[in-house]
């Protein structure tokens, strides 16, 4: 095959879990031993074949590398670890097939802790963190890439292998435990680049004409290098990779497409265009074009001989693209003399498969939506416009104009009353009484030092899930379901009393999910049937669609919290999900600033808190585990984000009287970057993850002058292991040495919904004993 430019249409990647989550089922069946490895491989291969055929059917050319090979059995970063054979030494004993090793790295086994998982850029997708040290072996293992390439060729499709690029790979890696002080995985860039070169040469030998190397590190200020340094690393690596020839009888590499999704690469773009690669992608939804370089012709000069894949179709949300605006951007580029290809802002792995699968969604709402398949079709339309001229797609543009106008004018999208309430909310509504007054007023709650509590959920048992699904299917009526939930709540309350916890929870048995539960009860949201999006490995979530102005037609949690409180003398915490987290884990409207949407959600929650307090609840927890996740990758945008996100939490909680105690929970422990924001939430008590880091997070908070309550987790809920009394006692003592005892709460790291009852009871019993031991010793 000979080197030819990319066709006018491409996407960066496509969902890989299958329209009906077939991959999830196959992978989990394999783990459970119900199917063989060969059967799993067969299912995966069928899914890939279906994906390629679908992409061609939707309008991506079969020839020329337009169809990406973005399949993954589990995670794309883990795929790169395998392709580099970068198996950490601690897995040396884990032998087996490639796929066996792969899953052991991902999930661990009896002898091995799995690779750590963490969030992929500012998305809710999690990747397996590579562990690299000075000795990590690197060797090219392109087997999986070659298999896919051959499969595609067999079907007559010239596809484009996809791999996380070398710079991003190493910047997402962490130094393995045994690495020398000061070692950074990126120190090994040159060696890793050499292995990438071998992989590329193997791909070229097998007939690949294009390869896609993803370098989202280029848009992030949250990595270990500055963006300028990241760009320099990219230049260093691609000078080497690009040096090999793409021409002649035996090309030494495929043509290279570098992508920079998830943010703004405008400042780097001209330098990327000047690299010895054949195409560069820019995210033009989150990012912009460098206006000056575009105007003075320097962008076009930098891109001479290099194609620009313009990511104008949004791969992060589910709205139909404003095709006219997108086409204008493409036209600007083409008129400036830049060789332009239509693309997506990022891989479509973050959106569901197909709107057409939704039978129950309101037809009008449905007409405004575009999932992965619709987005591919939009890319194809824009590409036709680029090739054949604007007139050739005028009908499509006009149709989208109509759809967007319909959306803007539809009932529920803008509700004057809600908008005036948001407009009327001022600083006073975001500020509670002084910390001192609140402390004083809350003495009446009678909460002891080192008060023990949990984060909210108790185990979601098979029984609970069964009852919920019976209710959803109409097999049991509302009365029976509510009776079941009340019995469950009563059981959880009695259990906590027996264990001796100080501040109780109702256990969240009524919630299918901490966001969807609220989305179903708030106006302005819709839920899908098949809108699954991979969150990690075989796990997927079904984000709700926030399409209109948000309001709360009726109380959402009061019934359950009030019932729980009626059963006990001890305080029961009301339990809400915060505005930022509700937004982060939903698909949000794109027709107004996120901050405006957050304020609407905040006002709804504010009403809920007032109703909870009226019903006799004295402590309310508002969870914000996604506060860190939505932090923009681009430092220049962070202050504005923190302003509205913290502001929305304060608007939600600002109506609480001084004697009402507001708690918040942030799952993670890495909030160095947002410590001011955590403080700015002004919650009376903040619980955080801390057990795995042995309370490392307490000290920075103390040094920061954090003066309100803090509950560093003393028990890691991510594993079924039961932490003993001594172990938890020690953690409490470490925390107590770093922060005054009267600020300290004792709780697990996170909610208990994924745990079983046996380990939960044992661990919480030990937690209470540990708190007592420290109190007695203090």
Catalytic positions are 718
Helices and strands of the chain, counted as H and E runs = 28, 23
| Residue 455 lies near ligand GLN (rule: CB under 6 A) | yes
The residue (of 377 and 750) whose beta carbon lies closer to Zn ion is 750
Which range of residues in 331-339, 433-441, 452-460, 731-739 is near ligand GLN by CB under 6 A?
452-460
Q: How far is the CB of 748 from ligand GLN (least distance, A)?
A: 9
| Residue 617 lies near ligand GLN (rule: CB under 6 A) | no
Name beta bridge partners: 210: 255
260 binds, among ligand GLN, Zn ion, none (CB under 5 to 8 A by kind): none
| Residue 124 lies near ligand GLN (rule: CB under 6 A) | no
What is the Cα–Cα distance from 265 to 346, expressed in whole angstroms? 13
Which range of residues in 293-301, 302-310, 748-756, 759-767 is near Zn ion by CB under 5 A?
748-756
534 φ/ψ sector (left φ>0, alpha ψ -120 to 50, else beta): beta
* DSSP 8-state secondary structure symbol assigned to residue 193: H
* Residue 268, helix vs strand vs coil: coil
438 binds, among Zn ion, ligand GLN, none (CB under 5 to 8 A by kind): none
Q: How far is the CB of 623 from ligand GLN (least distance, A)?
A: 5
- Binding-site size, ligand GLN (CB under 6 A): 13
The residue (of 380 and 455) whose beta carbon lies closer to ligand GLN is 455
Q: How far is the CB of 511 from ligand GLN (least distance, A)?
A: 8
If we measure between CA atoms, which residue out of 371, 626, 599 comes closest to residue 514? 626
Work out whether strand 573-577 and strand 619-623 pair parallel, antiparallel, or are unpaired. parallel
Contact 141, 185 (CB under 8 A): no
Q: How far is the CB of 666 from ligand GLN (least distance, A)?
A: 8
Which range of residues in 454-462, 496-504, 549-557, 710-718 is near ligand GLN by CB under 6 A?
454-462
The residue (of 133 and 623) whose beta carbon lies closer to ligand GLN is 623
124 is in an annotated binding site: yes
Which range of residues in 89-97, 187-195, 675-683, 749-757 is near ligand GLN by CB under 6 A?
749-757
Output b/e per residue, 298-319; b: 16+ Cβ within 10 A.
Answer: ebbebbeebbbbbbbbbbbbbb
| Residue 626 lies near ligand GLN (rule: CB under 6 A) | no
Which range of residues in 29-37, 393-401, 700-708, 744-752 is near Zn ion by CB under 5 A?
744-752
What is the Cα–Cα distance from 525 to 543, expressed in whole angstroms? 10
Mask for 186-205, x = binds ligand GLN (CB under 6 A): --------------------
| Residue 750 lies near ligand GLN (rule: CB under 6 A) | yes
| Residue 598 lies near Zn ion (rule: CB under 5 A) | no
Maximum C-alpha span of the chain: 83
Work out whether strand 159-164 and strand 67-69 pair parallel, antiparallel, or are unpaired. parallel
* Residue 416, helix vs strand vs coil: helix
Tokens for 747, please give them. 């709780």
161 binds, among ligand GLN, Zn ion, none (CB under 5 to 8 A by kind): none
Q: How far is the CB of 492 from Zn ion (least distance, A)?
A: 18
Tokens for 485, please give them. 């939930």
457 binds, among Zn ion, ligand GLN, none (CB under 5 to 8 A by kind): ligand GLN
Tokens for 368, please give them. 């405004």
Q: How many alpha carbons fall within 13 Å on the CB side of residue 263?
A: 26
Which range of residues in 449-457, 464-472, 629-637, 711-719 is near ligand GLN by CB under 6 A?
449-457
Name beta bridge partners: 688: 666, 712
Using CB under 5 A, which residues numbered 608 to 647 contact Zn ion?
625
If we measure between CA atoms, which residue out of 268, 269, 263, 189 comes closest to residue 233? 189
Tokens for 609, please give them. 């808190």
Q: How far is the CB of 558 from ligand GLN (least distance, A)?
A: 17
Tokens 């000069």 appear where?
301
φ and ψ at residue 399, rounded to 5 degrees: -65, -45
Q: How many alpha carbons fall within 13 Å on the CB side of residue 237?
A: 30
The residue (of 242 and 456) whose beta carbon lies closer to ligand GLN is 456
What is the Cα–Cα distance from 193 to 198, expressed in whole angstroms? 9
The residue (of 212 and 557) whose beta carbon lies closer to Zn ion is 557
360 is in an annotated binding site: no
Tokens for 248, please give them. 């002649």
Using CB under 6 A, which residues numbered 575 to 604 contact ligand GLN?
575
**Alpha carbon distances (Å) from 113 to 109, 110, 598, 714, 718:** 7, 8, 38, 20, 12
Q: Which residue in 667, 695, 735, 767 binds ligand GLN (CB under 6 A)? A: 667
Using CA of residue 245, residue 246, residue 252, residue 255, what is the dihedral sign? Answer: positive
Q: Which residue in 6, 361, 750, 752 binds Zn ion (CB under 5 A)? A: 750
Name beta bridge partners: 311: 283, 343
623 is in an annotated binding site: yes
What is the Cα–Cα distance from 751 to 732, expressed in whole angstroms? 19
579 binds, among Zn ion, ligand GLN, none (CB under 5 to 8 A by kind): none
Contact 109, 94 (CB under 8 A): yes
Measured at CB, which residue is nearest to ligand GLN? 751
Q: How far is the CB of 734 from ligand GLN (least distance, A)?
A: 23
484 φ/ψ sector (left φ>0, alpha ψ -120 to 50, else beta): alpha
Tokens 């264990």 appear where?
499
689 is in an annotated binding site: yes
User: Which run of H or of E encompasses 757?
Assistant: helix 757-777
What is the Cα–Cα distance from 254 to 162, expressed in whole angstroms? 12
707 is in an annotated binding site: no
Q: CA 19, 23, 29, 32: dihedral to nearest 10 degrees?
A: -130
Q: How far is the CB of 565 from ligand GLN (least distance, A)?
A: 17
Contact 509, 487 (CB under 8 A): no
Tokens for 415, please give them. 């509700």
Q: Which residue in 682, 731, 751, 767 binds ligand GLN (CB under 6 A)? A: 751
What is the Cα–Cα distance from 617 to 445, expressed in whole angstroms? 11
| Residue 753 lies near ligand GLN (rule: CB under 6 A) | yes
456 binds, among ligand GLN, Zn ion, none (CB under 5 to 8 A by kind): ligand GLN
473 is in an annotated binding site: no
Q: How far is the CB of 749 from Zn ion (least distance, A)?
A: 7
Tokens for 124, please give them. 């809710």
Q: Which residue in 280, 667, 677, 714 binds Zn ion (CB under 5 A)? A: 667
The residue (of 124 and 457) whose beta carbon lies closer to ligand GLN is 457
* DSSP 8-state secondary structure symbol assigned to residue 421: H
* Residue 644, helix vs strand vs coil: helix
What is the Cα–Cα distance from 21 to 15, expressed in whole angstroms? 10
Using CB under 6 A, which residues numbered 475 to 534 contact ligand GLN?
508, 514
Q: Which residue in 506, 665, 738, 755 binds ligand GLN (CB under 6 A)? A: 665
Q: Which residue in 7, 242, 456, 531 binds ligand GLN (CB under 6 A)? A: 456
Which range of residues in 33-41, 155-163, 265-273, 666-674 is near Zn ion by CB under 5 A?
666-674
| Residue 623 lies near ligand GLN (rule: CB under 6 A) | yes
Q: How far is the CB of 518 from ligand GLN (least distance, A)?
A: 12
| Residue 457 lies near ligand GLN (rule: CB under 6 A) | yes
Q: How far is the CB of 455 from ligand GLN (least distance, A)?
A: 4
226 is in an annotated binding site: no
Contact 212, 160 (CB under 8 A): yes
Work out whether strand 117-119 and strand 126-128 pair parallel, antiparallel, or are unpaired. antiparallel
350 is in an annotated binding site: no
Which residues are at the interface with Zn ion (CB under 5 A)? 625, 667, 750
Which residues are at the interface with ligand GLN (CB under 6 A)? 455-457, 508, 514, 575, 623, 625, 665, 667, 750-751, 753
Q: Which residues are annotated as a binding site?
A: 24, 124, 455-457, 508, 585, 623, 665, 667, 689, 750
Q: Which residues are annotated as a binding site for L-homocysteine?
A: 455-457, 623
Q: Which residues are annotated as a binding site for L-methionine?
A: 455-457, 508, 623
């Amino acid at each position: 095959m000979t080197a030819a430019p990319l066709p006018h249409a491409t996407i960066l990647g496509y969902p890989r879990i299958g329209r009906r989550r077939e991959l999830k089922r196959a992978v989990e069946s394999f783990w459970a031993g119900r199917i063989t490895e060969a059967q799993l491989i067969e299912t995966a291969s069928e899914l890939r074949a279906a994906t390629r055929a679908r992409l061609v059917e939707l309008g991506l050319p079969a020839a020329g590398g337009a169809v990406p090979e973005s399949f993954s059995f589990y995670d794309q970063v883990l795929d790169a670890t395998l392709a580099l054979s970068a198996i950490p030494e601690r897995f040396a004993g884990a032998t087996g097939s490639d796929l066996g090793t792969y899953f052991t790295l991902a999930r661990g086994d009896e002898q091995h802790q799995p690779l750590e998982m963490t969030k992929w850029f500012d998305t809710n997708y999690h990747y397996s963190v590579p562990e690299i040290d000075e000795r990590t072996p690197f060797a090219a293992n392109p087997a999986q890439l070659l298999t896919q390439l051959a499969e595609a060729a067999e079907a007559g499709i010239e596809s484009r292998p996809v791999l996380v690029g070398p710079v991003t790979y190493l910047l997402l890696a962490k130094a393995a435990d045994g690495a020398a002080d000061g070692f950074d995985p990126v120190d090994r860039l040159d060696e890793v680049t050499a292995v990438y070169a071998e992989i590329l040469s193997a791909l070229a030998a097998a007939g690949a004409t294009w390869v896609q190397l993803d370098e989202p590190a280029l848009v992030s200020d949250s990595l270990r290098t500055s963006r300028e340094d990241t760009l320099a690393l990219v230049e260093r690596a691609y000078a080497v990779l690009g040096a090999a020839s793409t021409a002649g009888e035996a090309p030494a590499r495929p043509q290279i497409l570098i992508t920079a999704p998830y943010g703004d690469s405008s400042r780097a773009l001209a330098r990327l265009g000047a690299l010895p690669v054949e195409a560069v992608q820019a995210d033009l939804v989150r990012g912009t074009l460098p206006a000056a370089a575009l105007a003075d012709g320097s962008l076009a000069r930098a891109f001479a001989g290099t194609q620009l894949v313009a990511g104008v179709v949004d791969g992060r949300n589910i709205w139909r693209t404003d095709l006219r605006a997108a086409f204008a951007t493409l036209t600007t580029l083409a008129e400036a003399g830049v060789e332009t290809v239509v693309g997506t802002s990022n891989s479509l792995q973050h959106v569901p498969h197909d709107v057409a699968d939704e039978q129950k969604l309101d037809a009008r709402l449905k007409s405004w939506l575009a999932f992965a398949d619709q987005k591919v079709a939009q890319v194809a339309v824009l590409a036709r416009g680029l090739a054949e001229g604007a007139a050739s797609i005028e009908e499509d543009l006009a149709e989208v104009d109509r759809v967007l106008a319909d959306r803007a004018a539809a009932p529920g999208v803008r509700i004057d009353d809600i908008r005036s309430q948001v407009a009327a909310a001022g600083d006073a509504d975001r500020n509670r009484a002084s910390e001192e007054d609140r402390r004083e007023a809350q003495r009446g709650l009678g909460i002891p030092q080192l008060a023990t509590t949990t984060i909210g959920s108790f185990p979601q048992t098979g029984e609970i899930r069964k009852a919920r699904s019976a209710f959803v299917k109409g097999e049991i009526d509302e009365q029976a379901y509510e009776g079941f939930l009340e019995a469950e709540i009563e059981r959880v309350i009695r259990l906590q009393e027996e264990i001796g916890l100080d501040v109780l929870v109702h256990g969240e048995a009524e919630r299918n999910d901490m966001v969807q539960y609220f989305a179903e009860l708030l106006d302005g949201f819709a839920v899908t049937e098949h809108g699954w999006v991979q969150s990690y490995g075989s796990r997927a979530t079904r984000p709700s669609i926030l399409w209109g102005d948000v309001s709360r037609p009726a109380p959402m949690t009061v019934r359950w919290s009030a019932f729980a409180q009626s059963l006990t003398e001890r305080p029961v915490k009301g339990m809400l999900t915060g505005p930022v987290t509700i937004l982060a884990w939903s698909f949000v409207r794109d027709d107004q600033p996120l901050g405006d949407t957050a304020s609407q959600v905040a006002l709804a929650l504010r009403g809920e808190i007032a109703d909870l307090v009226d019903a006799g609840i004295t402590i309310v927890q508002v969870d914000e585990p996604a506060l860190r996740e939505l932090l923009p990758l681009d430092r220049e945008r962070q202050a504005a984000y923190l302003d509205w996100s913290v502001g929305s939490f304060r608007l939600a909680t600002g109506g609480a009287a001084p004697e009402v105690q507001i708690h918040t929970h942030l799952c993670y422990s890495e909030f160095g970057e947002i410590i001011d924001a955590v403080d700015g939430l002004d919650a009376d008590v903040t619980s955080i993850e801390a057990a795995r880091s042995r309370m490392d997070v307490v000290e920075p908070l103390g040094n920061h002058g954090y003066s309100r309550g803090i509950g560093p987790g003393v028990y890691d809920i991510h594993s079924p292991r039961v932490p003993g009394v001594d172990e938890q006692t020690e953690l409490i003592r470490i925390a107590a040495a770093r922060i005054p005892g009267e600020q300290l709460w004792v709780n697990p790291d996170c909610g208990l919904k994924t745990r079983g009852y046996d380990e939960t009871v044992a661990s919480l019993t030990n937690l209470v004993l540990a708190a007592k031991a420290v109190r007695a010793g203090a």
